[in-house]
Amino acid sequence: MRRTVEYFEKPGRHNTEKCIDIIENLVAEEDYRDIVIASTSGDTGLMVAGRLKGKDVNLVVVGHSTGFTKPNRNEFSQEAHKKILELGGHIYQGTILTHSLEVGLATKFSGTYPTIIMANTLRRLGQGIKVCCEIVMEACDGGLIEEGKNVVAVAGTVKGSDTVAIVKSAASSRFLDLYVSEILAKPRT
C-alpha cells in the first residue's frame, strides 16, 4: 500500500496530534497491533494510551532510564506511569541503546566500534528516526515486542512526537536485522 508521508516544517510537540492520528489510522485501517512510542515524562505515552484505549494493541511506552539526566532522577511521571498501565499499555525504562550497540557490531564484525558513530549516522535522517530505531530494540530487549515484526515506532525531537516509522523489529544484539521499512512522518529540519 502506498502511503503519503507527512513532512512537518518544524520539529516539536505541536506535531503530536497529527502523529497520533497516523497511529490510529494504521491500527484501524491496516491492522498494525504493535506500537512503540518514546516518552520522557510519560505525557505523550499517556496521550497515545488514551486515544488507543479499547483497541486491541500492544502499546509499549519507552522512557529514559533512571539517572539519565542526573543521579537517581526518574523523569517519568508516576501518575502517567500508573494511568498508562491502567489503560493497558506497557512501560519500558532502560538504557538508551546507542551506548551498547557495539555488542552487535563486535559479534557481526569481530571488533569494537563506537556507537556514537551509529547514533550520529541515524541522526542524518532525523533525531526521531534515531530514537525510533532505539526504542524498538529496547522494547524487544525487554520482551515487550517480538523480533521480526513490523512495528509502528513514534518518537520526537525534544518534546512530543514528530516522527512515525514502520520498523522491522530486532533486539539490540541483532540490530543489523532492524530495518526502517517506511517513514510516515518527520520534520524537514
For domain 6-187, give the CATH superfamily: Pyruvate kinase, C-terminal domain (3.40.1380.20)
Helices 43-51 and 16-30 sit at what angle, rounded to 10 degrees? 40
Can you give the pLDDT at residue 100? Answer: 54
For the entire predicted model, the pTM comes to 0.88
Mean pLDDT by 10 residues, the chain (189 residues): 82 94 94 95 96 96 85 91 97 77 61 69 88 96 96 92 97 93 93
Q: Which residues contact 48 (CB under 8 A, 6 or more apart)?
A: 20, 23, 35, 37, 59, 61, 89, 154
Can you give the pLDDT at residue 1? Answer: 60
Would you call 109 exposed, middle or buried from its count of C-beta atoms within 10 A (0-12, 13-18, 19+)?
exposed
Can you give the pLDDT at residue 6? Answer: 87
Hey, where are the domains in the chain? 6-187
Can you give the pLDDT at residue 181? Answer: 95
